[in-house]
Amino acid sequence: MRLKCYTADSMAEAMAAIRAELGDDAIIVSTQRASDGNGVRITAALEHDPVEDDIYQALTGARRAPHGDAVREALEFHGAPARLTELLVNLASATPAHDAIGACAGALDQVFHFLPMPQGAASRPVLLAGPPGTGKTIAVAKLAARARLTGGAVGVITADTVRAGAQEQLAAFTRILEVDLKKARGPEGLATLVPNMQQQYGVIFIDSPGLNPFSQDDMDYLRSLVAAVPMDVALVLNAGTDPMEAIEIAEAFAEAGASRILATRLDMARRLGGILAAAEAGALAFGDVSINPRVANGLCPINPVSLARLILPLEEDIPPEDGVGAYAEDDDVSPYSEAL
């Protein structure tokens, strides 16, 4: 796909220039006012550009792999932003692989980082942050349960003093798990609790109140929590979030200190463009995904192969005739579905 920006005094003039250069098959990707406020700026694209294919063949000595079409179709179904789609399709087309799953996984591995949530000892506490209703509290319970089941010493802190019943909900799980639960009132409480707890526990998970990414006060509060003690911050986001909303949410939380994304309600979402857009916009590493409401086994680490399996239809994952796949099965990926 060839992208080009056109600036003109009016929409009609811009459209005429697009038709003259790209023809009637051009696709309008975005429309906005010019940066000086006068006129319009339109980004248009040509779906198939034979010149690009000729350049690719000249540089590599090979035609583009057919897997790019399958990856494009899947990403468009998921609602991934156009620019991210083009990037992944181009990388998938240039990735040697036996099937579309392998090509997609190779592209994802080049664009995104993958950093699973800690299951055992961790040098820094992990704070889960996100908008209200994304499942932070239950995600903390799941993380604590997994670490506890591996035999680790786990500490949990709730910094959510806003939502009614938040502490009681988390306490119901920690009692069953025999995990210590502490309550911190703001940054000062964290600064006091965390150093003492780090001497007793191998890993500490911190629940936080639901925060509005578009509220300066809420984001300043998150920054104050992050500044209280050295910590890692994971953005908790529903898998089915609208991609454009997800971009703005991720940018806000990343600016406040988030470095990972933990996607929730994967079992209730069929389109994952939102979490792809969020991870790219905020430069967030993929951590884990929440695949069911159960606490004991509700979390699953994710990697390029398992994410590719979620993005592409299962029928695309057909073993080659010689029985050799581009990727081996990953024992760390939970069997939530055939995709994972």
| DSSP letter, residue 36 | T
Residue 244, class by beta-carbon neighbours within 10 Å (0-12 exposed, 13-18 middle, 19+ buried)? middle
The pLDDT tens digits for 190-231 are 999 999 999 999 999 999 999 999 999 999 999 999 999 999
Encoded tokens for 157: 């802190």
CA distance 61 to 168: 63
State pLDDT tens for residues 26-60.
766 666 665 555 677 776 765 555 545 555 455 55
Cross-sheet strand order for the sheet of 180-183 = 180-183, 154-158, 203-207, 126-129, 232-238, 260-264, 285-290, 299-301
Query: Left (φ > 0), alpha (ψ -120 to 50) or beta: where does 203 sit?
Result: beta
Half-sphere exposure of 120 (CA within 13 A, CB side): 2
For the chain, where are the alpha helices, taking DSSP H only? Answer: 11-22, 50-60, 67-78, 82-93, 100-111, 136-149, 166-177, 186-198, 216-228, 243-255, 273-281, 304-311
Confidence band (pLDDT; 50, 70, 90) for 81?
Answer: very high
Global pTM reads 0.74
